[in-house]
Amino acid sequence: MTDSSVRVGTVLGIEVRASRAWAFVILIVAFLMASNYREMYPAWPTANLVAAGAATSALFVASVVLHELAHCVVARAFGIQPRWITLTFFGGMSSLGRQARRPIEEFCYAIAGPGANVLLAVFFLVLDYLLRETFPVVAAVLHSVGLINVILAVFNLVPGFPLDGGRAMRAGIWWVTGSYEKGTVAAAISGQAIAAVLLMAGIAAVFAGSFEGIMLGFAGLYLLGRARASLGEVAMRRALTGLTVQSLWLETLPQVERTTSLVEFLRQLPPTRESAPDPHFMVVDEGVIYGLIPASRVTRIEPDKWTRQTVGDVMTPIDRVEKLTFETEIVRALEAVAASDVDELPVIDENVVQGFVGRDALMRFVASRLASEGG
């Protein structure tokens, strides 16, 4: 887990995380919806307004999670293992074990989220119709959440990266041209144009005295940054074309016995600076590798468990770590380490571990290649 997000639970075996700004999103949605209900239903008592606002906010969160779960379920159907879902200030993101390798995978994954919102919209609006006469407050909430899901579906289908519509656009161009890069560039350029429109609309709304203009402007900035990042991905892929793990210096990792207690493991750690890389260790037993463990994972465990647990209890088992070969492309290695919960992946040749490829080493290699390409 990253320092900027916290774990909130697991759904269908997929970890759900939330950025620290998500609490603000929940509160602001509840406040805005309560204010809207006050305007629409001035006769409602304050308790009804507060309850309706809170319920709408909760169902909004559930809708975002279900949107991302739909992406993950479709990814699984194509053999892509979802790692986690992160709720961010501007919605949600799904982390997958790998990128799509065919246009059909990308397209189905892209439309799954908006498709889930359409189904949710129909569900909530039908319930609203059925309960309108007998439970007006509940029906009002269901109506609002139904409309929110319509908005989520329509907005996410806008054809610009990183929105789902941009991914679908990339899949279409990829299928027609046979080029992932051409699809990405087109979707990213479209995404930047859409982001610029949102940013200008937000600025105009702010000058008109609308609070929502601030949110619109921030959304435009967010989309602009993500779209530009996708163009950076294209540049990176071009610079790494044809390069494999064979081009890298392999690393060796220190060993720690599987039965070592966490407190003893921490005593063995050398003092580190805050900016230093996170050291990883091979967990072994009689010379056999059983797993990997980053030092930071142990330091995040509650101190009262250090004497009761061993490194074997908290390691990542070696059979859950993706193995690389000397023929693995650098781009594929980057995807693998990004999707892993450890920063070092073993390189196997003839069933023997030849060394490890780490996240920091990969990023340094990529930076050097991009610098040489730019020069």
Q: What is the mean pLDDT of residues 307-319?
A: 90
Express each pLDDT in 196-222 by its tens digit: 888 888 888 888 877 667 777 777 887
Which amino acid is it at 116? A
Q: What are phi and psi of 139, to 5 degrees?
A: -60, -40
* Residue with the two structure tokens 């889930």: 116
Q: φ and ψ at 285, to 5 degrees?
A: -150, 115
Average pLDDT over residues 89-100: 78
The rounded distance, in Å, linking the Cα atoms of 330 and 237 is 9
d(C-alpha 7, C-alpha 23), whole Å: 13
pLDDT over 80 at 18, yes or no: yes
- How far, in Å, are 30, 55, 175 from residue 39 at the CA level? 14, 17, 49
CB atoms within 10 A of CB 33: 23
- Read off the pTM: 0.74
Token pair 């073993």 is found at: 346
Which whole number is the average pLDDT over 221-228?
82
**Which residues share a beta bridge with 17?**
7, 86
C-alpha 143/C-alpha 102 separation (Å) is 38
Query: Quick one: pLDDT at residue 275?
Result: 46
Residue 146 confidence class, pLDDT cut points 50, 70, 90? very high
Structural domains in the chain, CATH included, are: 5-240 (no CATH), 245-374 (3.10.580.10)
Share of the chain above pLDDT 90, in %: 40
- DSSP letter at 355 equals E
- Nearest 5°: the CA angle 131, 132, 135 is 65
